[in-house]
Amino acid sequence: MKTLDIFTLSLSHVKKSKMRSWLTVIGIVIGVAAVVAIISIGEGLQESVQANLGGLGADLITVIPGFSRASNGFGGMGAASGNINLTDKDLNAIKQVPGVLYVNGMVSGRSDMILGTEKTSVSISGVDTATWRSIVTTKLEAGRYLQPGDSNAVVIGYSLAHDTFLQQITLNRPITIGGKTFKVVGIFAKSGGFGGGDNAVYMPADYARDVITESISRNIFNSIMVKVADQEQANKITDDIIQKLMQSRHVNSRTRDFTVIAFASIQQQISSITQAISLFLTAIAAVSLLVGAVGIANTMFMSVMERTRQIGLLKALGATDNEVMKLFIMEAGLFGFVGGIIGIIFGILISVMISAVGLSAVVTPQLLVFSLAFSVFVGVLSGVAPARSAAKMNPVDALRFEQ
């Protein structure tokens, strides 16, 4: 028989058994829809995380006081104490490391901010205006960044400008921080909380020292931000900075009192986590396809039993074992194809609804092609065993079979 004839015969039997065919297809539909929806959510999650982490800058490194060996240094982020500080000496040592492009000593703390009759506590970040513009990664919604020579000028976060006070803060609006008056020269765009400081105030470091509640000496920094010339070398430069500061501060690996963090490493770790979550969710969705595959196999075995005489007649008329196998494999593949098409449609609809409620879901053409190909593959694979069973039948015994 020609392949087209085999396909026509398979299609006619699928049409004849409508109820059973649709019940079989539903299992594949559920599996494919779950795979499309979950993978699209995973892709959206990764894109959202990458977009937010992009604000950190893969070419940035930060140095903070304190170190925790129990957590490979990351515990040091909250381990700074009053007697451990970063100084001008550390700043100059970092500048000597090859590959370092800019170094910005920062002071941070909190202070009271007054706008009219309203008052709130805000986070203050004091920066070196000579290098800050070259290091900051968050875009501005309005105004400009701080510049060398600025006095009593601040750049504020998006939420602080729009949500904290009853009145929105606009450019050139005078505000009072720590009893001193400042002018707003820039407002950050919304950053989603990664690296942009939506509720923070940025000002020249010397002015920050005057308004921060806790006194900070002129040569002391709470952290040092470093921009490297080549982000591909960020991890190597991080190691070089560690070695340089250990020499400069006269400490060793056991007495180390500072932490150096490359944001590129943080991005890689978080990306790995989101990929693992997506893979785990996809594996769960694939279970639904497995259930659908069992349904197809069950249907095909029943079909073989019901069509024993037809199989015997086909073989008596000269149909080969391969042609009989093709007949049942094509039928199983049809279940996978139809289920895949319908499942993709439902998966897209679910993704659209998820996006409508605020979560991110990304449906790519590659995902749709993969889902359809995988559903057809599952269908064909499920039909192999029943097809082989049909092909091995003795035509004489098959013709004698009575239902």
Q: Spell out the residues 6+ positions from residue 16 whose beta carbon is closer than 8 angstroms to its own.
A: none
The answer to the question of residue 346 being in a domain is yes
Are 101 and 176 within one domain?
yes
Burial class (CB in 10 A: 0-12, 13-18, 19+), 340: buried
Q: Which two tokens stand for residue 49?
A: 């995380």
Report whether pLDDT(174) > 70: yes
Q: How confident is the model at residue 194 (pLDDT cuts 50, 70, 90)?
A: very low
Q: Which residue has the higher pLDDT, 289 or 253?
A: 253
What is the tens place of the pLDDT at every residue in 227-240? 998 878 888 999 99
Query: How far apart are alpha carbons 277 and 302 in whole angstroms?
Result: 39
pTM for the full model?
A: 0.60
The answer to whether 228 and 263 have CB atoms below 8 angstroms apart is no
Q: How many domains does the chain have?
A: 2
Q: Which two tokens stand for residue 366?
A: 């590659």
Give the percent of the chain with pLDDT over 70. 82
Q: Which of 303-317, 357-371, 386-400 has the highest mean pLDDT?
A: 357-371
| Residue owning tokens 């000269």 | 318
Beta bridge partners of 261: 62
The answer to the question of residue 32 being in a domain is yes
Are 91 and 128 within one domain?
yes
Give the mean model confidence (pLDDT) for residues 65-84: 55
Are 47 and 90 within one domain?
no
Q: Spell out the residues 6+ positions from residue 263 whose beta carbon is closer than 8 angstroms to its own.
A: 53, 56, 57, 58, 60, 61, 62, 234
Report whether pLDDT(6) > 70: no
User: How many other CB atoms sit within 10 Å of the CB of residue 203?
Assistant: 28
Q: How confident is the model at residue 75 (pLDDT cuts 50, 70, 90)?
A: very low
The answer to the question of residue 125 being in a domain is yes
Q: Which residue has the higher pLDDT, 219 or 328?
A: 219
Alpha helices in 97-253 (DSSP H): 132-135, 158-162, 205-211, 234-249
Q: Which of 174-178, 265-269, 366-370 has the highest mean pLDDT?
A: 174-178
Decide which of 256, 285, 306 is a domain's last residue.
256
CA 334 to each of CA 33, 105, 177, 322, 329: distance values in angstroms, whole numbers, following the listed order: 17, 66, 71, 18, 9
Report whether pLDDT(153) > 80: yes
Q: Which residue has the higher pLDDT, 294 or 311?
A: 294
SS3 helix, strand, coil % of the chain, rounded to 5? 55, 20, 25
Query: How far apart are alpha carbons 271 and 51 in whole angstroms?
Result: 11
The answer to whether 197 and 108 have CB atoms below 8 angstroms apart is no
What is the tens place of the pLDDT at every residue in 317-357? 777 777 777 887 888 888 888 888 999 999 899 888 888 87
The answer to the question of residue 376 being in a domain is yes
Decide which of 232, 256, 280 is a domain's last residue.
256
Domain housing 24: 3-52+269-400
Could you write out the DSSP letters of every residue in 139-162?
PEEEE----TT--SEEEE-HHHHH
Report whether pLDDT(394) > 90: no
Are 290 and 247 within one domain?
no
The whole-number pLDDT of residue 54 equals 53
Are 240 and 94 within one domain?
yes
Helix (H, G, I), strand (E, B) or coil at 307: coil
Helix (H, G, I), strand (E, B) or coil at 174: strand
Query: How far apart are alpha carbons 317 and 333 in whole angstroms?
Result: 25
Q: Which of 14-18, 150-154, 191-195, 214-218 has the highest mean pLDDT?
A: 150-154
User: How many other CB atoms sit within 10 Å of the CB of residue 209?
Assistant: 19
C-alpha R_g of the chain: 33
The mean pLDDT of the chain is 81
